[in-house]
Structure formats: structure tokens, C-alpha cells
């Protein structure tokens, strides 16, 4: 149930054995290859703080435009001690691990247990995160998959084939890191957020967006809804501001990247939003969300009684049967259909129509307020035809009101990695640790995954960075701590994590320079950050 306000408000893991010989040749697209080939190796740059300090590191840098460089970094080499194995279960106690291991041994398997000791830096709990019961050590992934099938036939479920090099312990790599550095004082183009398909619903490949806009380069953006069971597919799971207009509400308290299109201003801050609908009869009600399916809040972090939490909770959809959602033309032609009531507003906030069901047209220069459950009663009482309803959205950054203009943009993400030149990872606070399921943080934050990162240097230069991963022998990926170390090594004063995993993509021109980690290839994403020439 929502609150109605009757007055106007103003605005440790063991490792062992896969031998992979050689590193991949570096590849830079198009006419950048020759310039990169002639670039000197490690000319004064600080080595990435990854793995052992004496690892070999090679860099190839090319100039994309005045004020924009692209660098591919390869560090380390495949370890002969890494191997493929099958994760059977993640358990909390030694007794559980011993019982499962005994059962596996009796069935002729060869289990071993890895103790996971590393917790999130801001986790209030102490002690081990849990224990991983694993079976088999193989040189090839296929051998591990065969064991997985055999375990499945013996009644085990939830099995994962994993590569030990992707665990969080020290390794020799290798890592492949792609870096775009933008000097906004020299670069004459624009730095813009780009919605997939130029609207909120649906997803699109970064290569498609880059080609459509003739981008100089780009990276994937923030978190988004993957499928309709979690809301509106493609909806940004967190704040989205494009050209000063708020298109998606924040996961309150989570880090976001704030930047102007001309690059003159940039910041990484903890962002929150507050949305209200104020009727001309004096009644004010909270607006729960913007441009999304009512009732499903991806990433949580909302207000008004969302269940089970109003705190950020990553990769989770909180629920609320009673919501008021504002739809703008950026959502497309129609709102989400279903039971409830809709008020159609013109650009001045005048109620043109009150619909008794959801799923109608969105006016090109207006707004639709869509209500479910209790919110329908508010609309029926306070959004009658001819009345006015003012919809306002306030954005705060680090607790202070953000004054936006037409050049202001915000991309969601999290967690923060570097603050004021120091590694500062607020993993638990931003919802990347689930107290009831410690394995979630292990899989998401402690294991190495592909990552997309953004940072700001003391001189205002922007760093757009991708770390390839889930590619044994090519690049092992990075965990949160390694991601922070990468950004600090590159000179970032402030840095944060964007959407990663299969979403991690970078383009130079129209060509993808990263290696997709999804078996199906490049993933369609919700939004992107593009460098556009003027």
C-alpha cells in the first residue's frame, strides 16, 4: 500500500592444471593496426596490478581522434596449474562438505573441497564465505562436461563446469584489457548514452548501435532487464538520464556514472531518485517507477513497501502489486497492458483521458500515469479528466540535489571501485552480496568474469575499459578487487563497475574488439556509451 500525501510538495580457493601454449595475436581493427604495431611496448606506463608482479605485459596504442586513444593490453600467460572441474555444491559448513564428499567418494568420484575465505570488503559477517565441493581435475573442458553428465545421471543437480583460473586466487593470467581514453579538453566529438533501438523496450547489439550512429568507439552500458519475467525486457535496471531527461528511476544508493555530452563534467556518485505526482486538488502521491512494467522492480532499491526489500539487491526482482508508473514517449507507442487505470496527460499535465484498463497509446508530447491496485484509486480520485497532474522527478548524487541540464547524462552500474584515488568497493551496500546466499557474491564479485569499467582521472580524462573473460587461455577476466586495481593502475581517481559478463563489449569504429563470452556470440544490451564525432 502506498502513502498518499494530501498537500502539495515541491519540488580461498585451491588451484591446479591446464597447459595452454601461447597468447593470441593482438587485433586492432581497420587502419589502426599499423599505428598500434609501431607503438613502443610499455613506454612509461604503469603495469597493471594483476597477478604476479613480474608477468610480461604488452601494450598497443592507436590514436582514434584528437583526444581519443585506444589501447589493447595483454598481461601474463596461461598457467600450467589451471584445470577444469565440476562444482557440485556450495555449502556453508564443514560437516555439509564432508557428508557430500563422502557420498561422492562412495560413488567412485574424486571430490575435493575449496574453502572460500574472501568476503566482500564491507560485509559485516566474519569467517569463511563457504566451501565449494568439487569433483575431478581435467585438462579439457570436454572431459569436465562428460563428468557433469555422469554426475547428473547419478542424481546430482545444479552442477557447473568451471575453470580454476577464474577463481579469485593469484594467477599468471592471461588478461586481455581494452582501454579507451578520452581527453575531453581536446576531443571535439560528443560522449553520449545510447538506448537500444532508440527506445526503452527491447535490446540491441553494441555493434548495431555503433554502426547506426557512426560512432568512433563505444562500450556497453548499465544493467538491464534480460527477460519479461523480470519486468520490461531492455528496461534499465537502475537510473537512466539522457540529455537531462530521467527515463528510468534509480536503484537508490547505487553508484552511477554522471557525465555531460561534451565531457566537460563527469562524476561517479551514489545516486537516488524521487518521483511524485501532484494533483491540482492538492493530493500528492509517490510515483514508483518510470517506463517499466508495474509490479517488478529489477535490482530493487525502491520505496513504498517493495518486497522483500527496499535496499539494492542485484540480479533480483522485488515486487509490489500497488504501483504508479509514469510512461513517456521514450517507452514507445503503448504502455504495458493489464488490469488497472491510466491517466493520459498532455505536456502541460492536463488530464486528457482516464482509461479503465492499462495498455493504451502514449502521446508524443505527453505522459501516461499507469496505476495498479491502490494506485488506481488515487488516479480515479485525483486525475479526473480536466484536472492537472504535475509529475516531477528529483535526482540526488551523494545526498545532494543534482541540477541537470540538456547535456546531463547518467548510466547506472555498481559497485564503486575507486574513490579519491583509493580502492573502495562498497559491494554489500550496493546489493551485490546476499546475506542469505553467500554463493551469490562469490560467483559475481570474487570469481573472475568479463568486466566493463568506467573511470575518471585527476585531469578529467575518461577511461572506458573492458576486461575479456570466460576464455581460458585467452583471458581469465577479473573480480571486483582486480577491476579496482586495473582502474587505479590506469590512473583513475574514481572508478566503478558497469554491466559485465556476456554484456561486456567494446567497439572501435563499427568493429567489436572484445571477445564475446556468451556461446551465442555478442549479446544484445539495454544501452551503451558512444563516442560520436561531430
**Average pLDDT of the residues in 511-531:** 97
Domain range for 371 is 268-397
State residue 27's pLDDT score. Answer: 39
- In this prediction, residue 304 carries a pLDDT of 87
Is residue 5's pLDDT more than 50? Answer: no
Say which residue the cell 561534451 belongs to. 262
Asked if the model's pLDDT at residue 12 lies above 50, the reply is no
Q: Would you say residue 259 lies in a domain?
A: no
Instruction: Quote the Cα angle for 330-388-304, to 5°.
Output: 65
Give yes or no: residues 192 and 292 share one domain. no
pLDDT tens by residue, 188-245: 999 999 999 999 999 999 999 999 999 999 999 999 999 999 999 999 999 999 999 9
The pLDDT, as a whole number, for residue 25 is: 36
Q: Which of 166, 193, 212 is the last residue of a domain?
A: 166
Is there a single domain that holds both residue 206 and residue 325? no
Domain boundary pick from 150, 166, 182: 166
What are 134's strand-pairing partners?
A: 87, 112
Domain boundary among 397, 430, 454: 397
pTM: 0.91
Q: Is residue 181 domain-shared with residue 60, that is, in the same domain? A: yes
**Residues 202, 137 share a domain:** no
Residues 6+ away with beta carbon under 8 Å from 128: 12, 115, 116, 117
Mark whether 362 and 502 lie in a shared domain. Answer: no
- Could you tell me which residues come within 8 angstroms of residue 362 by beta carbon, excluding any fewer than 6 positions away? 327, 328, 329, 331, 332, 333, 334, 335, 368
473-500 per-position pLDDT tens digit: 999 999 999 999 999 999 999 999 999 9
The reported pLDDT for the residue numbered 168 is: 86
pLDDT band at 8 (very low <50, low <70, confident <90, very high): very low
Domain count within the chain:
3
For the segment 77-123, what is each residue's pLDDT rounded down to a tens digit?
999 999 999 999 999 999 999 999 999 999 999 999 999 999 999 99
**Digit-coded pLDDT (tens) for 144-154:** 999 999 999 99
Write down the pLDDT at residue 45: 65
Whether residue 392 sits in one domain with residue 307: yes
Q: Which residues pair with 179 in a beta bridge?
A: 71, 465
Q: Are residues 431 and 514 in the same domain?
A: yes
Residues 518 and 379 placed together within one structural domain of the fold: no
Amino acid at each position: 500500500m502506498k502513502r498518499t500525501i494530501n498537500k502539495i510538495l515541491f519540488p580461498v580457493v585451491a588451484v591446479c592444471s591446464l597447459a595452454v601454449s601461447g597468447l593470441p595475436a593482438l587485433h586492432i581493427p581497420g587502419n589502426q593496426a599499423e599505428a598500434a604495431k609501431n607503438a613502443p611496448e610499455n613506454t612509461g606506463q604503469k603495469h597493471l596490478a594483476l597477478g604476479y608482479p613480474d608477468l610480461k605485459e604488452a601494450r598497443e596504442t592507436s590514436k582514434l581522434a584528437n583526444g581519443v586513444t585506444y589501447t589493447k593490453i595483454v598481461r601474463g600467460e596461461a598457467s600450467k596449474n589451471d584445470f577444469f572441474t565440476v562444482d557440485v555444491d556450495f555449502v556453508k559448513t564443514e560437516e555439509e562438505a564432508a557428508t557430500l564428499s563422502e557420498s561422492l567418494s562412495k560413488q567412485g568420484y574424486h571430490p575435493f573441497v575449496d574453502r572460500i575465505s574472501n568476503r566482500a570488503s564491507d560485509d559485516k559477517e566474519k569467517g569463511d564465505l563457504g566451501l565449494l565441493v568439487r569433483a575431478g581435475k581435467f585438462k579439457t573442458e570436454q572431459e569436465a562436461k562428460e563428468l557433469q553428465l555422469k554426475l547428473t545421471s547419478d542424481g546430482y543437480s545444479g552442477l557447473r563446469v568451471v575453470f580454476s583460473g577464474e577463481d579469485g586466487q593469484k594467477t599468471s593470467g592471461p588478461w586481455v584489457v581494452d582501454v579507451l581514453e578520452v581527453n575531453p579538453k581536446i576531443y571535439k566529438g560528443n560522449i553520449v548514452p545510447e538506448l537500444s533501438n532508440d527506445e526503452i523496450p527491447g535490446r540491441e547489439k553494441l555493434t548495431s548501435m555503433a554502426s547506426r550512429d557512426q560512432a568512433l568507439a563505444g562500450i556497453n552500458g548499465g544493467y538491464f532487464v534480460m527477460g519479461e519475467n523480470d519486468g520490461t525486457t531492455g528496461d534499465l535496471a537502475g537510473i537512466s538520464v539522457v540529455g537531462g531527461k530521467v527515463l528510468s528511476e534509480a536503484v537508490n544508493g547505487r553508484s552511477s556514472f554522471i557525465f555531460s555530452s561534451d565531457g566537460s563534467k563527469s562524476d561517479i556518485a551514489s545516486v537516488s531518485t524521487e518521483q511524485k505526482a501532484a494533483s491540482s486538488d492538492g493530493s500528492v502521491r509517490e510515483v514508483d517507477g518510470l517506463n517499466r512494467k508495474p509490479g517488478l522492480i529489477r535490482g530493487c532499491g525502491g520505496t513504498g513497501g517493495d518486497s522483500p526489500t527496499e535496499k539494492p539487491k542485484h540480479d533480483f526482482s522485488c515486487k509490489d502489486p500497488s504501483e504508479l508508473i509514469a510512461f513517456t514517449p521514450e517507452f514507445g507507442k503503448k504502455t504495458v497492458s493489464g488490469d488497472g487505470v491510466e491517466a493520459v496527460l498532455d505536456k502541460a499535465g492536463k488530464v486528457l483521458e482516464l482509461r479503465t484498463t492499462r495498455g493504451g497509446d502514449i502521446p508524443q508530447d505527453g505522459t501516461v500515469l499507469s496505476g495498479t491496485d491502490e494506485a488506481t484509486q488515487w488516479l480515479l480520485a485525483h486525475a479526473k479528466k480536466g484536472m492537472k497532474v504535475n509529475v516531477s522527478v528529483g535526482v540526488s548524487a551523494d545526498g545532494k540535489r543534482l541540477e541537470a541540464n540538456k547535456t546531463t547524462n547518467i548510466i547506472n552500474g555498481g559497485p564503486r571501485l575507486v574513490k579519491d584515488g583509493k580502492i573502495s568497493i562498497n559491494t554489500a551496500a550496493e546489493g551485490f552480496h546476499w546475506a542469505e546466499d553467500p554463493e551469490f557474491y562469490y560467483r559475481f564479485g570474487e570469481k573472475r568474469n568479463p568486466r566493463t569499467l568506467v573511470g575518471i582521472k585527476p585531469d578529467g580524462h575518461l577511461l572506458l575499459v573492458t576486461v575479456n573473460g570466460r576464455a581460458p587461455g585467452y583471458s581469465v577476466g577479473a573480480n571486483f578487487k582486480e577491476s579496482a586495481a586495473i582502474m587505479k593502475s590506469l590512473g583513475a581517481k574514481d572508478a566503478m563497475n558497469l554491466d559485465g559478463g556476456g554484456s561486456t563489449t567494446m567497439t572501435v569504429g563499427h568493429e567489436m574488439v572484445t571477445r564475446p563470452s556468451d556461446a551465442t556470440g555478442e549479446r544484445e544490451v539495454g544501452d551503451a556509451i558512444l563516442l560520436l564525432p561531430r
